[in-house]
Structure 1
């Protein structure tokens, strides 16, 4: 008995002590990181937010709930982006503090819906309101300048086939809503005994929704096949690294010679370190490779362009006769990695980390390339851009049959970043119903079919090799391609409805009979109470 009382007392001190409570908020906010690669505990995503919400619902005031949300957001940002620390150093703490502010309103929302003993109606509403509030955070931080849509809760389900079918309906956004809804239901289940039936019903509804989506959503039907070779040279550092990387790419590509069934060869991001117009020798070497292999080669040039000022990262298609004229310049750049936002004020970041010393230039339009005699329509993306659902959706609407991402995560080779990045291609494939090739310099390179399922074995970060994949093609249009981000609009509608309801209640409370009238003031400022 004394032990039980002691434990309750310790828990009470933890909840009431501002310092212990703040530390707990940071820790519980970091827990969802385990659902993403490398741990990839996909099932944990459905429970990961529960400790955080349990803490917030006990906040004594709205201000404390907002603070718990902010501190938890700091923990989430640091955990999900911890691999950026070698590049940003102390700056990552400032980044986490700024991004963490996005969770402060969510803390208020969780307390509003879940504190105390909510009515059944409010508990049922919480299953829609709390996930909608979380989705607004994901939407805002998906802006390129804030780091892009990395670490979305829905992205943790990249290897779960039923969840990938849900993504084909409403994108990664719909998957995030379902994951957070389950967390909300479990929070109610363990915290409010009288609402267990409502909580269980919420979990059942989410499970039925996923099952119904997996059953109803039209599965992509194969319409053909294309054979794609991925060339991954591996880690090459030191003096002359760019030339040695190019030479290794040549060596691996030559190994494909004699295989007349290869339709396309893909190199990773920054695989060519010189502009092909300014250095025609490189273009000649690539053309020779194309003739040897019997397939066009998609390379990525990271260099100062000869025809315009500045450095671009460009996907360039090279055939037997030279460059085909198809070129895509990367449009969305990595903050600090490829440009420094507000460089006049934040340029000091280059002195404490590995921030870009010179800003890369942006492309101005997406490009769909035509490959080979069969006229394969190819939609290229470069690295960071695979995190953005709208970019792959736009390419497919423009006619792309195959999505190809060229990436390089060698800076973060021994971290969780390569696996996390490769997993995003599964979501993009499932959303669009188009296969996706994720080709990197140093791993992880992987290929996913039009249903988001993995094709063949990936090339890990320990490999220097060329691999050939039989990639199935599909032509059907997924609901997400047709209707877009309807799940986001639905979440906005839920929050607007909440504001309308709460605003109406506030007005009724002010005008209800018997409501205390605030003291009036005389001209001199003294209070005059009603009835006197």
Structure 2
């Protein structure tokens, strides 16, 4: 132990260890998908921050741990953003500096049982505050939210229908805090065990009492994934391949066909020949086709990414323009200041334009669909609003071909399971190059996924559901609750500090020579 303490005395060694500890939770996400590891992945980081010699050093431990977490979660961006990936990780990692300080404040030294009980609520709330801030679209959005690691766990998906992915993050952090206390603070093991029991009780209660979606009816939906198409004329050849695959769906009684993001590289107003070919496909298959156009608009300035519904007579007029764009990938924030990113990586040379509102489309036969484009499936509020507006099926059109051989495609597809569970609506995740997947109203997989090695069209019988989940009705109550917990703790700490300051004895007055003054002098 003395050797470890001496080794950690070096600020750089301690910072390196914090970065490694912060990176550990990424193993709970796809591709490793060690979902159970999330329950202990934060323990090394917690143990390090609680032993910091000062509150300032604990904040530095939080910052370095946040840097490691963000870098590991977005490591697949390195080939595109290069050194700027480290800059982004460092900036976002700073959000965990207050969390590191909180860890030492509540668990440092020999904490009382009261502080341990407070830690079980305050530390998860502090984590959620960091996730909330970095989930702003301009900071990269909620990619890699800790609770999202539980997308395969049935009990967790049921909890998501009650409090969203935020509730999962809160409970996962609470479990880690309890385990850290069991490991390091013997005198506080009783409240730690009580915390573990409480999490188990909440999970069990949710499993028993959380309302299940009322399923009824099915929609036959097909996904078209063309696979990798490279070369100078890739947009034309990709369309040809998608057309070929779509023709294979004729006679399969499909109700809707979904193509991936950027599946059409030309504005249909400028290319009426493509619009006619899509209409012919709709007539041949007997289904409307949802394509995604990534092109300069003919009716307004700028480049848009748009979900466009095409029927047997051509485009139906239903169109959704992507609202939340990928920072650096589709636009450069504060381009006048950060435009240099385009010279060191593959940042967007021209900013895409934003849509103004979400859209629910009528896809025929009474089926109402709520489209999102790529990055937007990471935002719980977008799918929740579509469910509120009456969407029967949620759809995400995506393209992760740039990151084909990384962990990104699998992690992106997993988000659809959470969005389905949160809203009680099935969700279809359609991509150009994989991973494409479909999930039922409870977040359960429907049929096999299309991996990154597939070029195929596949049909799914998607179960439909009715009614709304508590999360759709109540919204982000778990986030607001976390902020209330933090505010209440802050007020209590301020009151205690003031009370202690009043109770301190006043030091005796001293003479000019520094000795205590005597009565009468």
Q: Which runs of 5+ in 1 are unaligned?
A: 1-7
- Report the counterpart of residue 451 of structure 1 in structure 2: 442
How far off is 1:207 after superposition?
1.2
- Report the counterpart of residue 325 of structure 2 in structure 1: 333
- Report the counterpart of residue 245 of structure 2 in structure 1: 252
Q: Does 1:141 align with 2:134?
A: yes
Q: Does 1:280 align with 2:275?
A: no
Given that 1:15 and 1:55 are in contact with CA atoms closer than 8 Å, whether structure 2 keeps it comes out as no
Alignment: residue pair count: 519
Q: CA RMSD in A?
A: 1.5
Q: Does 1:263 align with 2:255?
A: yes
How far off is 1:14 after superposition?
2.5
Alpha carbons of 1:504 and 1:283: their partners in 2 closer, same or farther (altered >3 Å)?
same
Provide, for residues 407-454 of structure 1, a one-character-per-residue CA deviation record: whole Å limited to 9, x for no partner: 000000000000000000000000000000000000000000000000
How far off is 1:530 after superposition?
7.2
- Residues of 1 paired with 2:516 and 2:466: CA distance? 75
Given that 1:15 and 1:58 are in contact with CA atoms closer than 8 Å, whether structure 2 keeps it comes out as no
- Report the counterpart of residue 400 of structure 1 in structure 2: 391
Picking from 301, 313, 324, the partner of 1:309 is: 301
Provide, for residues 44-87 of structure 1, a one-character-per-residue CA deviation record: whole Å limited to 9, x for no partner: 00000000000000000011000000011111111010000011
Q: Counterparts in 2 of 1:75-90, with a 5 A limit?
A: 75-90=68-83
Alpha carbons of 1:426 and 1:521: their partners in 2 closer, same or farther (altered >3 Å)?
farther
- Report the counterpart of residue 103 of structure 2 in structure 1: 110
- Report the counterpart of residue 346 of structure 2 in structure 1: 354
Q: Which runs of 5+ in 2 are unaligned?
A: none
How far off is 1:257 after superposition?
0.8
SS of alignment partner, residue 498 of structure 1: helix
- Report the counterpart of residue 377 of structure 2 in structure 1: 386
How far off is 1:17 after superposition?
2.3
Provide, for residues 309-358 of structure 1, a one-character-per-residue CA deviation record: whole Å limited to 9, x for no partner: 00000000000001110000000000000000010111111111110000
Q: Counterparts in 2 of 1:102-501, with a 5 A limit?
A: 102-259=95-252, 261-372=253-364, 374-501=365-492
Given that 1:509 and 1:515 are in contact with CA atoms closer than 8 Å, whether structure 2 keeps it comes out as no
- Residues of 2 paired with 1:530 and 1:256: CA distance? 98
- Report the counterpart of residue 58 of structure 1 in structure 2: 51
Task: Output the TM-score relative to the length of structure 2.
Answer: 0.98
How far off is 1:117 after superposition?
1.3
How far off is 1:514 after superposition?
1.5
Alpha carbons of 1:51 and 1:451: their partners in 2 closer, same or farther (altered >3 Å)?
same
Task: Output the TM-score relative to the length of structure 1.
Answer: 0.96
- Residues of 1 paired with 2:231 and 2:511: CA distance? 78
- Residues of 1 paired with 2:238 and 2:96: CA distance? 43
- Residues of 2 paired with 1:190 and 1:294: CA distance? 62
